Amino acid sequence: MSAWADRGPLSGVVGRAVEHEQVSGLLAGSPLITLTGAAGVGKSVLARAVLDEHTARHGGTVIRVGCWDGLTEGGLMAGGLTGALVRAAGLDSVLRDTERAAARRSPQLPPYDAARSETPAPAGDAETPAGGGTRSTDTAVAALAAHCVRSRATLLLDDCDPLLDECARLVRRLLRAEPALRIVATARRPLGPAAECVVDIGPLPVTLGEGIAGPAVELLAARTGPAAPELLVAVCEALEGSPLAIELAAQQLDRMPLSQLAARAGADGPLFWSGPAPTARHTSLYAAHAAGYALCSPVDRRVWARLSVLPGDFDPWLAGCVCASSDVPAAEVDAALERLRLASVLERVREAGSAPADTGAALPPRYRLPRGARDFGRTRLREAGEESSALRRFRQACAALAAEAQIAWQGTDQQIAVRLVEDEQHNLDAALTRPPQDPDDALIALEIAVSLWFRWAACGFRHEGRAHLDRLLLLSRDDTALRARALWLAGWLAAQEHAPGAAEALLERAWAAAVMHADSDGLARIAHAHGVLALYREDAGAAVACLEEAARHTSKDPWFGPGPAHSGALLAIALAAVDGDRAEAAARRAWECRHSDGDFWLHSTVLYARALAERAQGRPEAALRTCRKALAAKRLIGDPLFIAGARNMLAALRREVREGTPAPETREEGRWWQRGGSGVRSAPFFSRLRAGS
């Protein structure tokens, strides 16, 4: 039988078949099994379910002590951890008689008293030496261990976190006394003994594949009854598969329909749902995290609270930018991250040192603060009056990330820039979309949008970039050089999206700002954008004139915008249909003035221009080979507009080569910029590389 003095019968455990089998298998040969995981993930429920099944099959009993429950009720500390186990095992009278007999033989020994049976180890001592402590404690430990082995009892140290060190010391004593003893523990971090087998319990998966509901949905459906699958999935995704959060959410269905529950769960902001629970810690997500927060050091608490402004995963550098201050030294942030990870507050989503095959550069670890912990931390941050400063530091750090990505794009390898932006996509999106606190904060957001010009223009996210720029330009009205760049970038993106009216209005304002700031680079970029507009109008003469002007310019700032080389590549495209020799010469000059051999954006455009020229000169086989190379180069950075046009030209060239006669060029086959509508990107092209990292 099992001794659950403080608990009722277990409800069904959903979605833990793999973990259940793993723990059950370890019970046969591991003296100490510790189930670890975040608050509310179901460690205790799973441990009880496994032990109930084990005792039903193999006999024996379970002796449980709830460390956290004892703290709140006052019962555990009155008798100490050993005393609590002794009472749970029913050994009080036996040990009292033994000690009294020993006292009669040796009067100097005090009689057994459970209230004094737990002698704490000296400070800094990880393990009490054999023979240390009082004689009564040693006797109690030995008697308890012998009783458990004799009666085939399993010890369950539940919720060890508030007494983690005491639990670790007691486990070592018990295993020294009886190595055949079986102990199961639940805690947010491992206990640490060498014999420990740790089983990490994570959130329940929401889906198991496309169209297949996961255990989280199964758990919610068991509480709600028949319901729309898409609403169940929406709720579970918003709650990130946390069993406690799902149970609390299901209790709200008495007061709201499932559709409203899904909307509330998916909205930004903390979830203050509460309900009845066996322990006070599980009445709400806030209470569950507050219990763990109370056990953290002051530094770890501050780091936890400040990390709550980060919406996605992050590396130690970004965490340091947000968390470091006069009361949290920068050197301590990395250690705090690891302590919070060990306490199951943070998740580590990428190990340190993994190196992608294409760069070979070692990557730092990345962490994530789950929603429940993030909501709790944000509340604490707001209560401390630090939310505004943390949000400002976050946006400043994102501006530095965007600037780094811009420099990497114009540097040796554009893939590094694309990966950096995709790694930080959630953070950059939040920095761009969260409402600025004041004009200075709005200017920082605009700086991020301008620094990411290559993502909008070269990687195919034109519509997204325009939306950010249009909104931020309304919030940043000062006539600054940054605003002038933003006006040009918005006009250039509008030109690429084939919106001539909006593009010309923006470029006119950008021209006035460039003249006021004596920005010759800006004037050249405006000429480049007008050349793009002329290409859309199929006005070859105007396109050649504008692009020649832009290509002749010597750029003072090589880190921003397309630059003379890209103007030359577009010039070659404009010339391809009218003068093949001039087009090839322009393409050659564009490639010769490149910044680096890793400029795949320029390389693909130059190759495309050469393919157009070779086709116009009646060399379809050479054009086919060159167009294939252009498409391969463009795929490294993405741009659905260009890729669609290149594929169409490839299809036409294949027909020409196969049939041996030139095929009439259609607009769709020869004009890549006329394909793909608005060029909206819905998914990153670097998903493969990011997953590989």
* CATH code assigned at 61: 3.40.50.300
pLDDT score of 473: 95
Which runs of consecutive H residues, i.e. helices, occur in 636-673?
A: 640-659, 667-670
The answer to whether residues 168 and 272 belong to one domain is: no
Percent of the chain with pLDDT over 90: 54
Q: Which residues of 444-467 are buried (b: 16+ CB within 10 A; e: fewer)?
A: bbbbbbbbbbbbbbbbbbbebbbb
Q: Which two tokens stand for residue 326?
A: 């006069």
Residue 496: how many other CB atoms lie within 10 Å:
26
Q: Is residue 238 part of a domain?
A: yes
Q: Which residues pair with 564 in a beta bridge?
A: none
pLDDT score of 452: 97
**Residue 307 in this model has a pLDDT that exceeds 90:** yes
Residue 674: how many other CB atoms lie within 10 Å:
17
Distances from the Cα of 379 to the Cα of 109, 203, 272, 306, 445, angstroms: 53, 22, 11, 10, 24
Q: Structural domain of residue 151, as residue ranges?
A: 16-100+136-200
**pLDDT, tens digit, for every residue of 170-200?**
999 999 999 999 999 999 999 999 999 999 9
The answer to whether residues 53 and 141 belong to one domain is: yes
**Residue 99 in this model has a pLDDT that exceeds 70:** no
Residue 518: how many other CB atoms lie within 10 Å:
9
- Model confidence at 115, pLDDT cuts 50, 70, 90, reads very low
**pLDDT, tens digit, for every residue of 121-170?**
443 333 443 334 456 677 888 889 999 999 999 999 999 999 999 999 99
The answer to whether residues 256 and 287 belong to one domain is: no
Q: Which of 351, 384, 417 is the last residue of a domain?
A: 384
pLDDT score of 649: 83
Q: Is residue 614 part of a domain?
A: no
Torsion of CA 470, 680, 230, 288, to 10 degrees: -50
pLDDT score of 313: 95
The answer to whether residues 60 and 152 belong to one domain is: yes
Q: Is residue 323 part of a domain?
A: yes
Dist. CA 511–CA 521, nearest whole Å:
11
Q: Is residue 557 part of a domain?
A: no
**Residue 104 in this model has a pLDDT that exceeds 70:** no
Residue 78: how many other CB atoms lie within 10 Å:
12
- Model confidence at 282, pLDDT cuts 50, 70, 90, reads confident
Q: Is residue 348 part of a domain?
A: yes
Q: Which two tokens stand for residue 318?
A: 């970004």
| Helix (H), strand (E) at residue 54 | helix 43-58
Distances from the Cα of 278 to the Cα of 232, 288, 298, angstroms: 25, 12, 29
Mean per-residue pLDDT, 412-422: 88
Burial of 492 from C-beta contacts in 10 A (0-12 / 13-18 / 19+) = buried
The answer to whether residues 286 and 275 belong to one domain is: no
Strand, helix or coil for residue 186:
strand
Global pTM value:
0.83
Torsion of CA 521, 630, 428, 234, to 10 degrees: 150
Q: Is residue 128 part of a domain?
A: no
Strand, helix or coil for residue 673:
helix
The answer to whether residues 57 and 140 belong to one domain is: yes
pLDDT score of 426: 95
Q: Is residue 129 part of a domain?
A: no
The answer to whether residues 58 and 80 belong to one domain is: yes
Q: Is residue 48 part of a domain?
A: yes
The answer to whether residues 151 and 253 belong to one domain is: no
Dist. CA 132–CA 177, nearest whole Å:
13
Per the structure, the count of domains in the chain is 3
DSSP string spanning 367-429?
Answer: EE--HHHHHHHHHHHHHTT-HHHHHHHHHHHHHHHHHHHHHHHTTT-HHHHHHHHHHTHHHHH
The answer to whether residues 55 and 85 belong to one domain is: yes
Q: Which residues pair with 348 in a beta bridge?
A: 367
The answer to whether residues 227 and 291 belong to one domain is: no
**Residue 678 in this model has a pLDDT that exceeds 70:** no
The answer to whether residues 310 and 179 belong to one domain is: no
The answer to whether residues 273 and 342 belong to one domain is: no
Q: Which two tokens stand for residue 192?
A: 């640490």
CATH label of the domain that carries residue 330? 1.10.10.10
DSSP string spanning 79-121?
Answer: HHHHHHHHHHHT-HHHHHHHHHHHHHH-TTSPPP-GGG--PPP
Q: Which of 169, 200, 231 is the last residue of a domain?
A: 200
- Model confidence at 634, pLDDT cuts 50, 70, 90, reads confident
pLDDT score of 208: 83
